[in-house]
Amino acid sequence: MRSLLLISVVVCWLCTVAAVVRNGSSDGFQKPRDTDTVISFLENKLMASSAPMVPLTLIQGADSKGAGTVYMCLDGTLPGYHLDRGFGSGANSWLIQLEGGGWCNNHRCCVYRKTSRRGSSKFMEKALAFTGILSNKPEENPDFFNWNRIKLRYCDGASFSGDSQDEGSQLFYRGQRIWQVAMQEFLSLGMQQANQALLSGCSAGGLASILHCDEFRELLPSSTKAKCLSDAGMFLDAVDVSGGHSLRNMFEGVVTVQNLQKDLSSTCTNHMDPTSCFFPQNLISDIKTPMFLLNTAYDSWQIQESLAPPTADPGGIWKACKSHHLHCNSSQIQFFQDFRTQMVLALNSFSTSDQNGLFINSCFAHCQTERQDTWFAQDSPQLNGKRVAESVGDWYFDRAENVKAIDCPYPCDTTCHNLIFDFNPSALEISASSRFCFPLFRASLVLLVLTELILRFLV
């Protein structure tokens, strides 16, 4: 009887481990695939190790500001941010960087998310390195190094949108309120007197900078020079390799589970469905505030999760290609070229405005503002002889007219720092920019060893 009970427990446990292996998890919870974590891992390895660490500050009282009003992360903990104070000529200038990290699009995903740093401040790093656009060194960040630089942590799962609650699961969908209370905090810290301000963000934070750009402008005095930057936030409503719409399905889940309809642009929702109004391509032309779009034409996250996710490629035909672009055949490359064409077409109306800026490089990467090697380094990616930091600076400070650059199609750009997810038979390895390789422990080996030990115990 004891053996049968133990076998049942073991079988159940092994099923859990198997699910974990498939999902890339190591915590025993069948969490969703997390491409954001993998990309973040790669990008963090590329950040300068000597970067200053900036401590986390929680917004005290955010759970009780106003009569019965709460401003909470998914699990009910306080939202937070990292602030590195400006100095010298930049003491009255403010840069707000909205953190990215995907979305939660169903109940299970949101429940898992609240046990991570993307849903709870309990799990957030107590200090973060400020690199790239957040660096305080002029040789790394020539235009914004001495500004007040803030990274607002992302813990709502809907790009700082939404204002509802799931009582049964104690899930707080308060992204819009987190945005509001954070902005009030920054205004009280001195942003109210800013002479210059830039709202920026990467990935889901890049989408958030699009969603909140005009709100940001309205919070500041008319005398403030206010602009917005979206890095890797141009998520397209694209067809995946199976002919489906994987990202649309994901976004529909986000909009539905977090009840975002009322928070989306009414200009858009007046003539389109709510899910369409979560896609930047349907929003950017209506933004009144000057906006700069920085994106790779072959965005790594969108390749992994929108164009060729496992659900659209159950046979794994695209696995090698989406791991390393050099493993793609001609028809797969053409599929990516069609995606690039869709992105360029989606930017047509936006690019006609003199106040807007563009930097669309034909690389296989994701966020480029916080990585020092892609933001401003000797060998950083370039378009028209300008690195990302130089192009953004020229646009923000009006040093040049028509700062809009769209790269020629792959493989013409030799300045790219591509993210490469390199899988080989002997070990699971991840490399970035063809310069880093990180061996990870093989989960299948864990299963074999544990199974052997369990069988020995039973015998």
Here the tokens at position 371 are 């990585």
Here the tokens at position 116 are 């991570």
Here the tokens at position 307 are 């164009």
Assess whether 121 carries a catalytic annotation: no
Query: Do the Cβ atoms of 159 and 211 come closer than 8 Å?
Result: yes
- Catalytic: which of 84, 143, 156, 299? 299
Query: Do the Cβ atoms of 229 and 392 come closer than 8 Å?
Result: yes
Query: Do the Cβ atoms of 232 and 85 come closer than 8 Å?
Result: no
Closest CA to 160 of 198, 215, 107, 93: 215
Q: Quote the DSSP letter at residue 456.
A: H
Here the tokens at position 111 are 């429940």
- Catalytic: which of 366, 413, 417, 433? 366
- Catalytic: which of 25, 135, 159, 203? 203
| CA angle centred on 302, ends 297 and 306, rounded to 5° | 135
Rounded Cα distance between 33 and 201, Å, is 22
Which residues sit opposite 432 in a β-bridge?
Answer: 419, 436
Assess whether 351 carries a catalytic annotation: no
SS3 39: helix
Q: How far is CA 443 from CA 26, 208, 386, 449, 456, in A?
A: 9, 35, 43, 10, 20
Rounded Cα distance between 146 and 148, Å, is 7
* Locus of tokens 């009282």: 61
Query: Do the Cβ atoms of 128 and 154 come closer than 8 Å?
Result: no
Q: How far is CA 157 from CA 44, 173, 251, 258, 372, in A?
A: 21, 8, 11, 9, 26
Within 13 A of 94's CA, how many CA atoms are on the CB side?
Answer: 28
Rounded Cα distance between 161 and 265, Å, is 11
Assess whether 203 carries a catalytic annotation: yes
E strands, 180-339, in order: 196-202, 225-231, 291-296
Within a 10 A sphere around the Cβ of 93, how many other Cβ atoms?
Answer: 21
Catalytic site residues? 203, 299, 366
